[in-house]
Amino acid sequence: MTPEEALTRIGESTGAAVAGALEAYCPGAVTTHPPVVLDSEEDPVAGVPLPAVVGDVSYIDGVTGGNLFIMPLPAARALAAAMGGADPAAANPDPGTELTELELSAAGELANQMMAAAAAAASAVLGQEVAIAAPETRVIAAAADALAQKDPATSVVSVSIDLLGHSCRLVQLIPHAFVVRMTRALDDLDAEHPVADEDAGWHSGPSGTTVMPSDLLDGVGVRVAAELGRVSMTIRRAVSLAPGAVVELDRELEDPIDLYVNGRRFATGRLVTLDGDEWAVSIDTVDFEATPGKGD
Amino acid sequence: MARVLVVDDAAFMRKVVSDALRRGGHEVIGEASNGAEAIARYRDLQPELMTLDITMPEMDGLTALREIIALDPGARIIMCSALGQERKVLEAIKAGAKDFVVKPFKADRVLDAVGKAMA
């Protein structure tokens, strides 16, 4: 895998995590575009109306790097409304109106939630915990202010995200060492879980809100999981379960089971056996849910 | 009804949690925006229960949790975490936290956790 491919994969993974966090507040109003690895001369916030608010979250343990989520002020206001349980469509659309302290704080909190999810995704690939710092927020009036402290030894990956009709941007500042480690980890993962030819059919199947060219999708492996049922319990009870304990699930024998792609439910089906010794799932319905399943 | 100290570095989240608690009939007796402030306010206010964010500047929630449990082994503390911080949540439960809620959360989930911790 080339460093550019690794950067693209990091951008995809982080973009998906960010979109998942946004979808939790704005279901059906988030569209993520493919990541772009930028040249040093390119403007990472081109196309985002200014002034804009920047939620800045750094990785501090496991890997280093910066993550900026940049939203025009009306988007930040609408999102703060959605996060507070209000109607985002009723938020003030005036780009010239300053954010309140609470709206600015909501933008920082959102950046925290998005990047915690992204750090978990990076952590899963690297096999090592990746921790994030507390978010910092600022309002920028010019593109040059977005990356004021950028280290020249970092790569810049940009992901355009349409949120509630506003153009927003995820900008990742990725140090060379992170790229090298991620390249190695992704190579190992691909060797363990090669993408089968039949997976190439995904682009003609059901689509969610993510817009990606089919040739890009062909190169991306996903984790498909079948779920028989769920149960809620306290973490105290979970960690005290011993061999022999029986955990009752919430499904009857004849109920359909759920299939998930990277934590998102996309189909229901019935558990069957192949040749009498392998489990398989016969698909009944296909319907991508707008937000990640609870507990995923 | 519980007397609660709400700790989160984001003013927005402190408001969301405080509003939920008040709607549930609890009394929010104070707020703090980082771990060090949380310890100081815990000493001063002696709340019956505390909600505690994990990722905060200056001192994070896990460090504050350990210090408060050392001061008061019976402290009732509910951790607030973002998705993806399950490992830290587990550390917090091992260190003595009573429960946790994952952001984004519904008000009912916070009240449920408070009700169980106070039972």
ipTM entry:
0.86
- Indicate the residue type of B111: L
B56 CB neighbours in chain A (<8 A) are: 134
Q: Which whole number is the average pLDDT over B42-56?
A: 96
Q: How is chain A split into domains, by residue range? A: 3-192, 223-296
Q: Which whole number is the average pLDDT over A234-248?
A: 75
Q: Which whole number is the average pLDDT over B38-57?
A: 96
Q: Which of A56, A59, A105 to mutate to test the interface with B (most CBs of B within 10 A)?
A: A105
Q: pLDDT category, A196, cuts 50, 70, 90?
A: very low
Respond yes or no on whether the N-terminal peptide bond of residue B73 is cis (omega within 30° of 0). Answer: no
Given a cut of 80, whether residue A189 has pLDDT beyond it is: no
Q: Give the pLDDT score at A195.
A: 53
Nearest Cβ partner of A113 from B57, B103, B116? B103
A24 CB neighbours in chain B (<8 A) are: 104
Structure tokens at A210: 């993510």
Structure tokens at A290: 């707008």
Residues 195-254 of A with CB under 8 A from B: 234-236, 239
Structure tokens at A252: 């009857």
Q: pLDDT category, A262, cuts 50, 70, 90?
A: low
Q: Give the pLDDT score at A202.
A: 31
Is the Cβ pair B99, A234 closer than 8 Å? yes
A134 CB neighbours in chain B (<8 A) are: 9, 55-57
Q: Give the pLDDT score at A255.
A: 83
Nearest Cβ partner of A113 from B11, B86, B104? B104
- Helix, strand, or coil (residue A264): strand
Q: Give the pLDDT score at A263.
A: 67
Nearest Cβ partner of A134 from B9, B16, B84? B9
pLDDT digits (tens, 9 = 90+) for A70-112: 999 999 999 999 998 889 999 999 988 999 999 999 999 998 8
**How close does chain B come to A198, measured CA to CA in Å?**
31
Nearest Cβ partner of B12 from A25, A109, A236? A109
Q: Which whole number is the average pLDDT over A214-239?
A: 70
A102: nearest Cα among A69, A118, A70, A80: A80
Is the Cβ pair B82, A134 closer than 8 Å? no
Q: pLDDT category, A289, cuts 50, 70, 90?
A: low
Q: Give the pLDDT score at B10.
A: 93
Q: Give the pLDDT score at A241.
A: 76
Given a cut of 90, whether residue A249 has pLDDT beyond it is: no
CA atoms within 13 A on the CB side of B26: 28
Is the Cβ pair B57, A134 closer than 8 Å? yes
The alpha carbon dihedral of A269, A271, A273, A277 has a sign of positive
Q: Give the pLDDT score at A178.
A: 84
Q: Give the pLDDT score at A139.
A: 92
**How close does chain B come to A243, measured CA to CA in Å?**
20
Range name among A19-28, A197-206, B109-118 with the lowest pLDDT average: A197-206
Q: Which of A76-90, A109-123, B80-94 has the highest mean pLDDT?
A: A76-90
Is the Cβ pair A25, B99 closer than 8 Å? no
B interface with A, Cβ–Cβ < 8 A, is: 9-13, 15-16, 55-57, 81-87, 89-90, 93, 99-100, 103-104, 116
Please, are residues A184 and A265 in contact by the beta-carbon 8 Å criterion? Answer: no
Given a cut of 70, whether residue A56 has pLDDT beyond it is: yes
Structure tokens at A123: 């952590």
Structure tokens at A194: 């090669």
CA atoms within 13 A on the CB side of A277: 0
Q: Which residue has the higher pLDDT, A42 or A167?
A: A167
Q: Give the pLDDT score at A194.
A: 61
Range name among A96-100, A283-287, B66-70 with the lowest pLDDT average: A283-287
Given a cut of 50, whether residue B108 has pLDDT beyond it is: yes
Would the CATH topology of A3-192 be identical to that of A223-296?
no
Q: How is chain B split into domains, by residue range? A: 3-118
Report the CATH superfamily, name and number, of domain A3-192: CheC-like (3.40.1550.10)
Is the Cβ pair A105, B13 closer than 8 Å? yes
Q: Which whole number is the average pLDDT over B60-85?
A: 92
DSSP letters of A111-137?
A: HHHHHHHHHHHHHHHHTS--EEPPPEE
**How close does chain B come to A133, measured CA to CA in Å?**
7
Given a cut of 50, whether residue A214 has pLDDT beyond it is: no
Nearest Cβ partner of A105 from B11, B83, B104? B11
What topology does CATH give the domain A223-296? Surface presentation of antigens (SPOA) (2.30.330)
Q: pLDDT category, A34, cuts 50, 70, 90?
A: very high
Share of chain B above pLDDT 90, in %: 76
Distance from C-alpha of B85 to C-alpha of A123, rounded to nearest angstrom: 11
Task: Measure Cα distances from B112 to A82, A265, B3, B81 in Å.
Answer: 23, 27, 15, 16
- Indicate the residue type of A45: V
Please, are residues A74 and A92 in contact by the beta-carbon 8 Å criterion? Answer: yes
Q: Say if domain B3-118 classifies as CATH 3.40.50.2300.
A: yes
